[in-house]
Amino acid sequence: MTLTRDEALALLTDPLSARRRRGAKRLRALADPATAAPIRTALEREMLDRRTWETQYQLIMALGMTGGRDDIDVLKRLALQPRSAFAVNAALGDAIVRIGRETDNDPTPALWCLRQDVELLADGAVRAVAMLRLDFPDTAVAEVLDYAEAHFDDLNHRSLPYWPAVAAAGWSGPRVQAFLRRCSQDSRQLVADAAKDALHGRYGNHMSVL
């Protein structure tokens, strides 16, 4: 049965992590800004238990769909905390980009994530850039591509260069074309397909790899 907003909110304080996670996923889907404050409270409480990283992930993604720029300091503080569940960092990067922009195509939050030495934070940020189809200025595009190329074969960055290739469907210029041609020859079919679509200006029907 589909949860109502109030039912999902009530689950955020359930003793069972799986039920809290279910509530968070529903609130993420509803994307109601009125739920941001209880989601943020639940997230700060959830982050005290390192075992519940899957629930933390969904709460962060829910805050990314509901929160505002007032939540950025919380997310950045969490991003800089050490942890072993790196998928949480990907969610933080995604959420920071979604709610940290001053304008629709503001690259500042994404570039902040790229410049931190936090595993998978940049990956999540570029994922959001691609999913939101952000049109960055050339200098920001170059920084994203520099980062992707520097980690092209880094197994600790599983989604690079996939998401930059997806994002590049909305970008132009010789540097972008060269990057996409390289990606189109990649042995990873997911990367090659994304690049081939982007070379034709298509974002394609690409699913999250995180």
Mean pLDDT of 128-134: 96
| Res. 146 pLDDT band, cuts 50 70 90 | very high
Name the percent of the chain lying above pLDDT 70.
96
Rounded Cα distance between 111 and 21, Å, is 29
pLDDT of residue 208: 53
List, as own/partner pairs, every contact residues 41-48 make where C-beta atoms lie below 8 angstroms and the sequence separation is at least 24, other chains included: 42/12, 42/13, 43/74, 43/78, 44/74, 46/20, 47/78, 47/81
Reply yes or no on whether the pLDDT at 26 is more than 60.
Answer: yes
pLDDT of residue 1: 80
Q: What is the pTM of this model?
A: 0.94
Reply yes or no on whether the pLDDT at 210 is more than 50.
Answer: no
Using CA atoms of 50, 54, 60, 64 in order, give the dihedral in degrees to the nearest 10.
Answer: 170
Considering only CA atoms, which of 62, 50, 49 is closest in space to residue 21? 62
Contact 50, 85 (CB under 8 A): yes
Output the six-digit token pair for 38: 């209880």
If you ran DSSP here, which 8-state letter would residue 206 be given? Answer: P
Contact 114, 144 (CB under 8 A): yes
Rounded Cα distance between 190 and 160, Å, is 11
Contact 93, 131 (CB under 8 A): no
Average pLDDT of every residue of the chain: 94
pLDDT higher at 130 or 158: 130
If you ran DSSP here, which 8-state letter would residue 168 be given? Answer: G
Helix and strand numbers, DSSP H then E, in the chain: 12, 0
Rounded Cα distance between 95 and 195, Å, is 25
Mean pLDDT of 36-62: 97
pLDDT digits (tens, 9 = 90+) for 184-198: 999 989 999 999 999
Reply yes or no on whether the pLDDT at 137 is more than 70.
Answer: yes
What's the one-letter identity of residue 139? T
pLDDT of residue 134: 98
pLDDT digits (tens, 9 = 90+) for 91-126: 999 999 999 999 999 999 999 999 998 999 999 999
Kindly give, in sequence order, each residue whose CB lies less than 8 Å from that of residue 186, ignoring residues fewer than 6 positions away: 161, 192, 195
| Res. 153 pLDDT band, cuts 50 70 90 | confident
pLDDT of residue 117: 87
